Structure 1
Amino acid sequence: MSVENSVSFLAIDLGASSGRAMLGTISNDKLELKEIRRFPNPIMEVNDRLYWDLFYLYNQIIVALQEVKSHSLNITSIGIDTWGVDFVCFGKDGEPLRMPYSYRDPRTFGAPDRFFTKIPKEELYKKTGIQIMNFNSLFQLDTLLRDNSSIYPVIDKVLFMPDALSYLLTGKMVTEYTIASTSQMINPHSNKFDISLLEAIQLSGDHFAPIVFAGHKIGNISSSVQHLTGLQDLSVIAVAGHDTASAVLATPAEDKNFAYLSSGTWSLMGIESDRPVINDETFALNFTNEGGADGSTRLLKNICGMWLIEQCKKEWENKQPVSYQEIVTAAEQSVPFRCFINPDSPCFAAPGSMITAIQAYCKETAQYIPQTMGEIARCIYESLAFRYRQVLANLQQLAEFPIHTLHIIGGGAQNKLLNTFTADAIGKPVQAGPSEATAIGNILLQGKAAGIVDSKEEMRQIVRNSINIETFNPENTAQWNNHYSDYLAVYREI
């Protein structure tokens, strides 16, 4: 469906470290993006607990809408996507009961094993097909119950982060499917909450708003938001609320023979499947089955990503300012293949010092201990590339088709050094871009809701028409093959 007249939408894309408001305009089978504003999304530490500031995020959206008004931009709708699993609890009066915990809060360490006393691990996986991770919504809620949280008995509704923010804009509550699918409470075959899991945490289906699917119109902005922004008749669309689901939709693939790597604070590597893949092998490999924006299943693995670099950067900046490009350059100039880490080791989840944690890991595994910024960054980048190789090999075992290409999307697509390392490590071409895949997917789903975009194939053609895709072909695979066994020798199962 060709769109000759320009139609514009606003994407609110909230990551676990920053957020942005992006104006997307679709015209002549192309999409043009413009950044309206960008802002940090800091985790708040209060009395040894880690929280997100819900009202701060809401206010950032309001400010973005005020800027839309002040610049006389004509937008059709707004859509919100965020990271997965986290949620807000609301009381019967429709007010939030407290600020939402961050998934990085240490209170859920050990939570899965505690829950398995109610429902065994394998049974839980077969019900949901979701990777066992301590911060999954199910385990967060069970921890609130076990800790006798004062709010638990008075919870009326649990809304995941994008749904909670959409509610603050519209006054209407929904549960968008892709974000709910990260919770480990959804049956991927029925697309509904599993009642036995809810009963295990003393909740019911009534504690959640009705499930809707990507492209659903939630409603218009409330009179309060109209007053604050000067905008009227603006629709709020339930896009793929999980940022990875939005990003995968914007993968510029031409066929199905690909894997994707959504690269940001987290690296999420997976394939698209027509159905959930839940069996003994996926259970053993701890792969996850999450909802796709088009009704498909995203069979994927969560891998720790740029979090490692982000946390090290904060420490290096205690001495002097440093840019990400300076970190990459320092890594490029450092000696290769001296030491490796398992990026997904629990010791890197929320350490007091990431640099110290990396050095301790190398010491405990009898490796060279990196000292300089370049050595530490090189250790991280090489370890990530080898971890990608590991996970991609597992994906190929599970896929019903040959994987020819790895598409890297998201902010990490701009890291040419890591893209080069990854191509060499996996021995396959890497196609990088778009870096703003999440916002693009968000915009395209709003376009679908507006009736100007049809299928996933059409959406991906628009992406290919609109961006430059950089290809990284493997050139030093033999050298990387020689050191893969060194990585495996110090990789510790978690």
Structure 2
Amino acid sequence: MDHSNDSRTFKLAAVDLGATSGRVILGGIEDGVLRMKHVARFPNTPLALLEATGETRISVLDGDAGSAEGLYWNIQSLYAAVQDGLREAARFAPGLTSIGIDSWAVDYGLLRKGRLVGSPHHYRDERTARGVELVHSRVAATELYERNGLQHLDFNTVFQLAVESETGFLDLADEVLLIPDLLAYWLTGRSYAEMTNASTTGLLSVTTRAWDTELLDELGLKRDLLPPLLRSGEVIGHITDATARRLGADHSVQVTAVGSHDTASAVVAVPFASKRSAYISSGTWSLVGLELDEPVLSGAALEANFTNEGGVDDTVRFLKNVSGLWLLSESMRHWQAGSNDAQRSADLQTLLADAAAVKFHYEVFDPADARFVPPGDMPSRIAEWYTEHGLRPPESPAEVVRCILESLAEAYASTIDAAEALAGMTVDTVHVVGGGSQNALLCQLTANRTSRPVIAGPVEATAIGNLLIQARTMGLVEEDASLSDLREIVRRSFPVTKYLPVTT
């Protein structure tokens, strides 16, 4: 990762925020190669509002979300960590010229006269089911899909805002900013909505890529709640003088709109072997799909629950959200917090090696089952699924891990097959980027179950895509560089690993 220690190389800073952690990574182009340097990594821990002895208190989430009154993002703490990371970036690279921010989708902050109203809800908060009822009572699911092209997820922004509206909380706000746009606002004082993340809200027209004002009217949402739209690659603004002083940076540093939905940035960095390649952006979630020029809005696509999200340079991310390494990380968290000494001390690499040695004779389970969405005791929930289906559940942690990875690989295979059929194309290669590309067992099982070669890497795809869009905007690469040109830089800069299908 840390390819260079020459501070003059680094002109760009990527703020990459995931659902469990965040980081700040410096980048620069040197001899046609992208150089990167980690300068900060920090946890992103949700907060649960819990009932305790008749009073409410804020507590770091630990255990099942079912015991929580509400689940929130600790956004002030996250922003403080981002500032600390950017301060370190400016210290190491005095020539810093641009900052780009990406994060998970759908969640937002409510503002009134520029000030945050309350804490942003976490998309795993259980209130979202009510939002689905409210929206579908006014707009049928089929019509909603024709208008926004989105896969149905209970936590899509449109459903969350419907709940805010019913409770009256939305009346307190005069603006809604998605998480990366909120942080950019705090850095620059300018409020916009970057297009790729805006496309995940359910409030953006899939055909015009403008806010669907008629839909807002039908749902009783004020039009002026949503800020102006920006395309990735446009400049949001320069950091404020106060921000420059806090960061120890020059006030000329600008914040650039990148693919602010982390998957949009990750797809920029997929070194596609051909136009007939599928991708899996593998992290807490697995985003499995194709890069297309036009959306697929057929009834079959709706029934299969595929989404058409905006990509960088007017592309379409035709994909499906599949549960991801959340299942594994929550299982690890449960074991490490338990009373069993052997389980508590087991590390992931040892468990993966043991899982690879398991003689697999289980049925795969359904990772999309709703019981696996909230935090909590994932191994018990997996065992419960098997028991309910009249099957013997996995017993040891190694067996649980193997079942998780086999089930994910099977979900990937069925999703790719469906995408192939819906888009009318043949997929010959699968690219895995993100954290899951380091999981050799998962990559091999994916090759086996998809019956296609898997090309794994780069790991830091999201930060890479973030930095490359900044580089193009700042003139560090050709200003008219296409996505293909940017991906050629990825190929020159980062190694990949190839997995061929093995039949057993």
TM-score range, shorter chain: over 0.9
Shift of 1:159: 0.5
**Partner AA of 2:32 in structure 1:** D
Q: Does 1:337 find its partner at 2:364?
A: no
Does the CA-based 8 Å contact 2:79-2:183 persist in structure 1? yes
Q: Does 1:444 find its partner at 2:468?
A: yes
Does the CA-based 8 Å contact 2:130-2:163 persist in structure 1? no
| Cα distance change on mapping 1:339 and 1:197 into 2, 3 Å | same
Q: Report sequence identity in percent.
A: 37
1:141 is aligned to: 161
Does the CA-based 8 Å contact 1:80-1:238 persist in structure 2? yes
- In structure 1, C-alpha distance between the alignment counterparts of 2:427 and 2:23, rounded to whole Å: 33
- In structure 2, C-alpha distance between the alignment counterparts of 1:273 and 1:430, rounded to whole Å: 20
Q: Does 1:29 find its partner at 2:27?
A: no
1:397-442 Cα deviation digits (max 9, x unpaired): 0224321100000110000000000000010000000010000000
Q: Give the alignment partner of residue 223 of structure 1, picking from 228, 241, 244.
A: 241
1:96-144 Cα deviation digits (max 9, x unpaired): 1111000000111353234211111111111111001100000000011
**Partner AA of 2:77 in structure 1:** Y
- In structure 1, C-alpha distance between the alignment counterparts of 2:346 and 2:490, rounded to whole Å: 33
- In structure 1, C-alpha distance between the alignment counterparts of 2:298 and 2:390, rounded to whole Å: 37
2:76 is aligned to: 55
Aligned pairs (5 A) from 1:90-129: 90-91=111-112, 93-129=113-149
Shift of 1:202: 2.1
2:105 is aligned to: 84
Q: Does 1:470 find its partner at 2:497?
A: yes
2:194 is aligned to: 176
2:17 is aligned to: 14
**Partner AA of 2:494 in structure 1:** I
Instruction: Give TM-score, length-normalised by structure 1.
Output: 0.93
**Partner AA of 1:304 in structure 2:** S
Does the CA-based 8 Å contact 2:90-2:96 persist in structure 1? no
1:356 is aligned to: 380
**Partner AA of 2:20 in structure 1:** S
1:359-414 Cα deviation digits (max 9, x unpaired): 10000011111121101111100000111111011011022432110000011000
2:334 is aligned to: 315
Aligned pairs (5 A) from 1:223-242: 223-232=241-250, 233-242=252-261
- In structure 1, C-alpha distance between the alignment counterparts of 2:34 and 2:367, rounded to whole Å: 35
- In structure 2, C-alpha distance between the alignment counterparts of 1:188 and 1:302, rounded to whole Å: 18
1:228-257 Cα deviation digits (max 9, x unpaired): 111111110111110000000100114311
Partner of 2:314, secondary structure, is coil
- In structure 2, C-alpha distance between the alignment counterparts of 1:323 and 1:291, rounded to whole Å: 38
- In structure 2, C-alpha distance between the alignment counterparts of 1:72 and 1:349, rounded to whole Å: 40
Q: Does 1:38 find its partner at 2:5?
A: no
Does the CA-based 8 Å contact 1:145-1:201 persist in structure 2? no
Q: Give the alignment partner of residue 68 of structure 1, picking from 73, 89, 92.
A: 89
Does the CA-based 8 Å contact 1:7-1:27 persist in structure 2? no
Q: Does 1:410 find its partner at 2:431?
A: no
Partner of 1:317, secondary structure, is helix
2:62 is aligned to: none
Q: Does 1:291 find its partner at 2:316?
A: no
- Greater Cα shift, 135-144 or 250-259: 250-259
Q: Does 1:156 find its partner at 2:174?
A: yes
| Cα distance change on mapping 1:9 and 1:322 into 2, 3 Å | farther
Shift of 1:168: 0.5
- In structure 2, C-alpha distance between the alignment counterparts of 1:294 and 1:72, rounded to whole Å: 29
Does the CA-based 8 Å contact 2:135-2:219 persist in structure 1? no
Q: Give the alignment partner of residue 403 of structure 2, picking from 371, 375, 379.
A: 379
- In structure 1, C-alpha distance between the alignment counterparts of 2:500 and 2:93, rounded to whole Å: 44
**Partner AA of 1:145 in structure 2:** S
- In structure 2, C-alpha distance between the alignment counterparts of 1:85 and 1:305, rounded to whole Å: 17
Shift of 1:193: 1.3
- In structure 2, C-alpha distance between the alignment counterparts of 1:295 and 1:391, rounded to whole Å: 23
- Greater Cα shift, 210-219 or 111-120: 111-120
Q: Does 1:301 find its partner at 2:320?
A: yes
- Greater Cα shift, 323-332 or 426-435: 323-332
- In structure 2, C-alpha distance between the alignment counterparts of 1:179 and 1:69, rounded to whole Å: 27
2:4 is aligned to: none
- In structure 2, C-alpha distance between the alignment counterparts of 1:60 and 1:242, rounded to whole Å: 20
- Greater Cα shift, 400-409 or 314-323: 314-323
Shift of 1:72: 4.3
2:277 is aligned to: 258
- In structure 2, C-alpha distance between the alignment counterparts of 1:461 and 1:72, rounded to whole Å: 26
Partner of 1:276, secondary structure, is coil
1:144-197 Cα deviation digits (max 9, x unpaired): 122x24x31121110001000000000000010000001111111111111232
Give the unaligned 5+ runs of structure 1: 480-494
Shift of 1:473: 0.4
- In structure 2, C-alpha distance between the alignment counterparts of 1:290 and 1:72, rounded to whole Å: 35
- In structure 2, C-alpha distance between the alignment counterparts of 1:419 and 1:195, rounded to whole Å: 43
- In structure 1, C-alpha distance between the alignment counterparts of 2:383 and 2:356, rounded to whole Å: 19
| Cα distance change on mapping 1:112 and 1:71 into 2, 3 Å | same
Does the CA-based 8 Å contact 2:138-2:219 persist in structure 1? no
Instruction: Give TM-score, length-normalised by structure 2.
Output: 0.91
- In structure 1, C-alpha distance between the alignment counterparts of 2:198 and 2:267, rounded to whole Å: 17
1:61-102 Cα deviation digits (max 9, x unpaired): 2101221233344222010000000011100x2001111000
| Cα distance change on mapping 1:374 and 1:423 into 2, 3 Å | same
1:326-365 Cα deviation digits (max 9, x unpaired): 2212211222131321001101111542111101000001
Does the CA-based 8 Å contact 1:9-1:77 persist in structure 2? yes
- Greater Cα shift, 331-340 or 423-432: 331-340
Q: Does 1:186 find its partner at 2:204?
A: yes
**Partner AA of 1:58 in structure 2:** Y
- In structure 1, C-alpha distance between the alignment counterparts of 2:349 and 2:218, rounded to whole Å: 48
- In structure 1, C-alpha distance between the alignment counterparts of 2:87 and 2:126, rounded to whole Å: 37
